[in-house]
Amino acid sequence: MIVTFFGSPGAGKGTQAELAAEAFGLYYFSTGEYFRREIREDTLLGREIRGIIEGGNFIADHLVNRVVFGVMDGLPDVLLDGYPRNVPQALSLDAFLDGQGRRMDLAVFLDVPEAEASERLAGRRQCVACGARASMKDETCVACGAELVQRSDDDPAVVHRRFLEYHRETRPLEEHYQDRLVMVDGLGTVEQVHRRVLKAMESWR
């Protein structure tokens, strides 16, 4: 089973995608987390893309495609978080999967009003050491005790650009995946949204 999660910045994709992957036994892969880890570890790729991500911009499609296809090659069950982010990436993914006799089975869209999503982003924090997600109420990382900081791509000016890019680049995926798209209400507690996601995915299993 191959599934993708998408939605606006702050929709809760990462949290819900991880929970869903665990529930259905799918390999979870987040492009955002992958590239942020490369930056934290100061790899050659991380140094190349640091300014791109911190400016709220997107990494070139060909580079993202290469990373994702390398991860997916040989894996039968994958849940993609944040990929594809636009129709050209979706078409490239379709071609890659078609070459293996496979296809995208399901696209899950987390629907959250922009005002709510922006508020969530303003309160989001991340561990400088291990990358764990946290909120403003946490003083230090519950996983390792390190400092928590606001992600550079959650700065208000950057968030505004991210939403503009989202409406222009990502929303058209709804039409691309219309024959295998499920819309899930992303408002409520993590557990409430998780139950909706499981119910939606189970009907497509």
| Average pLDDT of the residues in 77-104 | 96
Rounded to whole angstroms, how far apart are CA atoms 133 and 104? 28
Mean pLDDT, the chain, whole residue set: 90
Number of structural domains the chain divides into: 1
Q: Which of 43, 96, 39, 37 is nearest to 65 (CA)?
A: 96
Residue 143 confidence (pLDDT)? 87
The answer to the question of residue 85 being in a domain is: yes
At 91, the pLDDT band (50, 70, 90 cuts) reads very high
H/E segment holding residue 74: none
Query: Is cis: bond before 9, omega within 30 of 0?
Result: no
The answer to the question of residue 92 being in a domain is: yes
Which tokens hold the place of 51? 């300014």
Rounded to two decimals, the pTM is 0.81
The answer to the question of residue 38 being in a domain is: yes
3-state secondary structure of 19: helix
The answer to the question of residue 130 being in a domain is: no
The answer to the question of residue 127 being in a domain is: no
Q: Please report, for the domain that includes residue 46, its CATH number.
A: 3.40.50.300
Residue 152 confidence (pLDDT)? 65
> What is the domain extent for residue 164?
2-112+153-202
Burial class (CB in 10 A: 0-12, 13-18, 19+), 146: middle
The answer to the question of residue 140 being in a domain is: no
State pLDDT tens for residues 136-160: 778 789 889 888 887 666 677 777 7
H/E segment holding residue 186: none
Residue 5 confidence (pLDDT)? 96
Residue 121 confidence (pLDDT)? 79
Which tokens hold the place of 165? 């890019």
Q: Between 155 and 164, where is the model more confident? A: 164
Which tokens hold the place of 199? 């119910």
What is the 3-state secondary structure of 25-64? CCEEEEHHHHHHHHHHCCCHHHHHHHHHHHCCCCCCHHHH
Residue 57 confidence (pLDDT)? 77
At 102, the pLDDT band (50, 70, 90 cuts) reads very high
Q: Say which DSSP state 167 is in.
A: I
